[in-house]
């Protein structure tokens, strides 16, 4: 996996650049389509035999890199691939913060195979690893996280997506005296931030997409944190989809090793717009400037990568002159 990291970086950078003309456009379908097509095309240049096990599109009615799709030239290694060509389509097309393009990869059979549906998630950093239990009440988990982090409960910083479905979480956290930090989009960003010391994010909790959950789980495993989850099927059809994918108990608790069971994994994200982890794309004088994070599970290392990409038009003009 280590030898593929820069190739994977090229995938996210290319998809982010493809999405950048649609920043502020209001056109979600065009933005997602641009990023998805370039991500697929770039993956298909790689000497891998990849299978999309976590795809995007069903919840947002966007063009898909669909679950089961084959990527790469068909060579070894055989890999599970999780993708979100634009995590934060709405902020992208509204010119707002918190949009990234992101992928994760691990050896075949290592990532959870789950439909694109809602998932309850709880995430903590390395100090609280092994202390949480999604089956316990939120108050109990807060006490355990506070103790692990050397804090009082009223000192905890807990990040929750600003959605009506999270009103009970928000009420419980505030009644306990802890601090709620609301965000509109980007739960991959905020769950991953629990593992980065200077971010001061003690816990992430909420209900969001399963693709984002598995992507986050790879980043967090590589950085020593922990995520637990539970799928939340919204209909009998979604329950049947889980069963068809081999999940005998669709609503059971999913522990971190069930989301990703290999240390030989990789998580790569490139900023589209500015966010807590990354700067968004900047364009100037015929160049795109990108910032990305590259996380290697084998090395337990996070790298920040800044790249300059010369636009094709600018390159052609230079050659002609």
226 is in an annotated binding site: no
Structure-block tokens of residue 151: 């804090």
Reading the block at residue 262, the tokens are 């290999």
Q: Are residues 139 and 178 both part of a single domain?
A: yes
Check the annotation: does 185 bind a ligand: yes
Residue 32, marked binder: yes
* Mean pLDDT of all residues in 10-38: 97
Would you state the pLDDT for residue 316?
Answer: 36
73 shares a domain with 12: yes
Q: Which residues pair with 295 in a beta bridge?
A: 267, 302
Tell me, what's the pLDDT at 186? 92
Residue 163, in any domain of the structure: yes
Within 8 A by CB and 6+ apart from 260, the residues are 104, 106, 110, 111, 112, 214, 217, 218, 221
Answer yes or no: do 103 and 234 share one domain: no
253 and 281 part of one domain: no
| Rounded CA separation 114/214 (Å) | 9
* Residue 192 and residue 71 share a domain: no
Q: DSSP for 166-199?
A: GHHHHHHHHHTTPEEEEESS-HHHHHHHTTSGGG
Chain centre distance of CA 87: 7
Domain that holds residue 63: 4-109+265-310
Number of H helices, E strands in the chain: 10, 14
165 labelled binding-site residue: yes
Is residue 318 situated within a structural domain? Answer: no
Q: Is 41 helix (H, G, I), strand (E, B) or coil?
A: helix
75 falls within a domain? yes
Residue whose C-alpha is closest to residue 303's, from 312, 314, 292, 313: 292
For residue 56, what pLDDT is reported? 63
Q: Is 89 known as a binding-site position? A: yes
Q: Taking CA 302 as the corner, what is the angle to CA 225 and CA 79, rounded to the nearest 5 degrees?
A: 80
Q: Parallel, antiparallel, or unpaired for β 157-161 and 203-209?
A: parallel
What's the pLDDT band for 319 if we cut at 50, 70, 90? very low
Residues 280 and 252 in one domain: no
Question: How high is the pLDDT of residue 317?
Answer: 36
66 in a domain, yes or no? yes
Q: How many domains does the chain have?
A: 2
Residue 60 has pLDDT above 70, yes or no: no
Alpha-carbon gap, residue 193 to 214, rounded angstroms: 15
Provide the 3-class DSSP secondary structure of residue 257. Answer: helix
Query: Is 163 among the annotated ligand-binding positions?
Result: yes
pLDDT tier at 315, thresholds 50, 70, 90: very low
- Give percent of the chain with pLDDT exceeding 70: 94
320: pLDDT strictly greater than 50: no
Is 118 a known ligand-binding residue? Answer: yes
Task: Answer yes or no: is 88 a known binding residue.
Answer: yes
pLDDT, mean of residues 143-153:
98
Q: Would residue 319 count as lying in a domain?
A: no
Does the pLDDT of residue 233 top 70, yes or no?
yes
Per the domain annotation, does 158 fall within a domain?
Answer: yes
pLDDT tens per residue across span 186-211: 999 999 999 998 999 999 999 999 98
- The CATH code of the domain that includes 165 is 3.40.190.90
Residue 237 above 80 pLDDT?
A: yes
Q: Specify whether 105 is located in the same domain as 125.
A: no
3-state secondary structure of 320: helix
Residue 63 pLDDT level (bands cut at 50, 70, 90): low
In a domain, 232, yes or no: yes
pTM, two decimal places: 0.93
Tell me whether residue 162 is annotated as binding: no
Residues 18, 59 within the same domain: yes
One domain, residues 16 and 38: yes
Q: Phi/psi class of residue 236: alpha, beta or left (left: φ > 0; alpha: ψ in -120 to 50)?
A: alpha
Q: Does the pLDDT at position 67 exceed 60?
A: yes
Instruction: Please tell me whether residues 243 and 123 are part of one structural domain.
Output: yes
State yes or no: 27 annotated in a binding site. no
Structure confidence at residue 113 (pLDDT): 86
Separation CA 80–CA 107 (nearest Å):
6
* Residue 46 pLDDT level (bands cut at 50, 70, 90): very high
Give the closest residue to 251 by CA, choosing from 114, 55, 137.
114
Q: In what order do the strands lie in the sheet with 118-124?
A: 179-183, 157-161, 203-209, 118-124, 226-231, 253-254
Average pLDDT of 10-35? 97
Q: What is the SS3 assignment for 314?
A: helix
84 annotated to bind ligand = yes
- Average confidence score pLDDT of the chain: 92
Mean pLDDT confidence for 63-79:
88
**Running DSSP on this structure, what letter comes out for residue 65?**
B
């Amino acid at each position: 996996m280590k030898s593929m990291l820069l190739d994977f970086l090229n995938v996210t950078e290319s998809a982010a650049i493809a999405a950048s003309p649609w920043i502020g456009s209001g056109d979600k379908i065009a933005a997602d389509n641009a990023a998805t097509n370039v991500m697929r095309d770039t993956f298909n240049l790689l000497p891998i035999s990849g299978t999309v096990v976590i795809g995007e599109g069903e919840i947002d009615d966007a063009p898909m890199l669909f679950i089961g799709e084959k990527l790469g030239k068909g060579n070894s290694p055989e890999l599970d691939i999780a993708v979100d060509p634009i995590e934060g389509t709405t902020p992208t097309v509204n010119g707002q913060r918190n949009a990234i393009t992101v992928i994760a990869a691990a050896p075949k059979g290592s990532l959870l195979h789950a439909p694109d549906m809602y998932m309850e998630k709880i995430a903590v950093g390395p100090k609280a690893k092994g202390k949480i239990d999604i089956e316990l009440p939120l108050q109990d988990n807060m006490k355990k996280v506070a103790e692990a982090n050397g804090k009082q409960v009223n000192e905890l910083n807990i990040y929750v997506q600003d959605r009506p479905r999270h009103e009970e979480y928000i009420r419980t956290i505030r009644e306990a005296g802890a601090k709620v930090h609301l965000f509109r989009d980007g739960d991959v960003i905020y769950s991953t931030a629990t593992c980065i010391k200077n971010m001061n994010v003690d816990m992430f909790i909420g209900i969001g997409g399963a693709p984002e959950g598995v992507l986050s789980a790879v980043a967090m495993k590589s950085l020593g944190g922990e995520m637990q989850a539970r799928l939340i099927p919204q209909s009998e059809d979604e329950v049947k989809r889980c069963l068809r994918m081999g999940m005998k108990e669709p609503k059971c608790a999913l522990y971190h090793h069930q989301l990703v069971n290999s240390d030989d994994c990789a998580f790569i994200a490139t900023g589209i717009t500015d966010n807590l982890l990354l700067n968004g794309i900047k364009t100037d004088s015929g160049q795109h400037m990108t910032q990305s994070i590259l996380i290697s599970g084998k090395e337990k290392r996070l790298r920040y990568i800044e790249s300059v990409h010369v636009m094709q038009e600018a390159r052609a003009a230079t050659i002609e002159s």
